[in-house]
Amino acid sequence: MTCKLCLVPGYKDWEGQDPKCHFSKGEFNREGWNCGTANALRRVIPEDLIQYYEDQRFVAINIAKRELEAASLFLYISWYKNRGRLDSIKLIYSDGKTKLATEDDCVSLIEFIQRDKR
């Protein structure tokens, strides 16, 4: 399985290694590289929300206003430098449980974040 954005003709506009989808198993996995959906999500993250610890980046975005899954409070993303691999894309729920994001989660979160920014 590969996400829709990884399959967009012309998505790979760089020389060298092909993208590897972060959603090849449905849920996010760390084996991806330059995945279209993961990169699209990372691109919409407001710069001022990014926390840095040495070269690691972390973001927790409040998504409680999002109507799709009432109990999900935060989207958590982390990555190392600005490389093609993300370390984590998770949803954090009101009861403290977490879930690895799926492609569908990310697509709706990209829309939510873009809407929220306006």
β strands within 1-118, DSSP E: 51-53, 56-62, 72-80, 86-93, 98-100
Residue type for position 25: K
Please say which residue, 29 or 78, places its beta carbon nearer to Zn ion.
Answer: 29
The pairing of beta strand 98-100 with beta strand 56-62: unpaired
Nearer to Zn ion, 36 or 112 (CB): 36
Nearer to Zn ion, 11 or 76 (CB): 11
Least distance to Zn ion, CB of residue 52, Å: 25
Q: Closer to Zn ion at the Cβ: 6 or 110?
A: 6
Query: What residues contact 52, with CB distance under 8 A and at least 6 apart?
Result: 58
- Shortest Cβ distance from residue 113 to Zn ion (Å)? 18
Q: How far is the CB of 7 from Zn ion (least distance, A)?
A: 8
Q: Which amino acid is at 35?
A: C
Minimum separation from the CB atom of position 95 to Zn ion (A): 29
Q: At what angle do helices 103-117 and 36-44 cross, to 10 degrees?
A: 20
Binding site for Zn ion (CB under 5 A): 3, 6, 21, 35-37
